Every structure is written in C-alpha cells, then in structure tokens.
Amino acid sequence: MRMRMLAAVLGAAMLLVACGGGGGELDVEMRKLNDSGQSGTATLTEEDGQTRVVLDLADSPAGPQPAHIHPGTCDELDPQPAYPLNNVENGSSDTTVNVSLEELRDGEFAINVHLSGEEVQTYVACGEIA
C-alpha cells in the first residue's frame, strides 16, 4: 500500500513538472556593494510563465530602495533596467515580473538594489542570475 501511494505521489509530481506547474526555483546571493553592509538572498520562483522575485536583505534601512533586474553582470551592469522590482522596504521586496525563469537563466541578468530614489547611482547590493 505504501509503495502504491509513493508511486502515485511521484507520478503526480512528475506530471506537474511536465505540465510546467513546477517551473523551479533559484536562490541568488545578493552581495553588498559600496560598504553598504546589505547582503542576503533573492529567491526567484517560476509561476505560470512569470517569475516571482523575493528579496531579503540584512542591514537595510527602513526607507524605500529601488530595485531592478538589469542586463549584464554585477561587474558590467547595463544601467537601463530590464524589469523593475518593487522597492526594498525594511529589507524586503516581493514582485512578479513578466518573464520566465528560464529566460532569465538563459540570459545574462543581475538583480541590483540602489541606495535610495535620490541616490540611484549608488548601488548597495547585487546578485547575478545564473
């Protein structure tokens, strides 16, 4: 009986993945920049052809900090964002962007957090989507 239940559960999980319902998840390390002290993770989750991006940063100020997905790498970042993210407030941000996780993985993109709306030229954290 247990073997049948296990087989049924595994079969259902395989079907879910095959149908695109379990598109995957990716954790991105967010490294501090410019002595900000802000580091943490970005968790990217495939949801129906879109990607949910959840940022969790330590040592963040309470006020809003702009965040984006940019083309490029943390070392060579295109300043024009590809996908805007909700501002980081109290170290957290949660956004769903209209791009698949596979497309983000296949391209060269980085998640970037700015010091503030007034100081967007100062980057405080960055993580490369690989």
Full-model pTM: 0.81
What percent of the chain is modeled with pLDDT above 90? 77
Structural contact between residues 40 and 93, judged by C-beta atoms closer than 8 angstroms: no
Q: Is the pLDDT of residue 15 over 90?
A: no
Predicted confidence band of residue 2 (pLDDT cuts 50, 70, 90): very low
Structural contact between residues 34 and 120, judged by C-beta atoms closer than 8 angstroms: no
The DSSP result for the chain, as a single string, is -HHHHHHHHHHHHHHHHHTTTT--EEEEEEEE-TT---EEEEEEEEETTEEEEEEEEES--SS-EEEEEEEB-SSSB-SS-SEEEEEEBTTEEEEEESS-HHHHHHS-EEEEEES-STTTTSEEEEEEE-
The pLDDT tens digits for 67-115 are 999 999 999 999 999 999 999 999 999 999 999 999 999 999 999 999 9
Query: What's the whole-number average pLDDT of the chain?
Result: 86
Q: What domains are defined for the chain?
A: 24-129 (2.60.40.200)
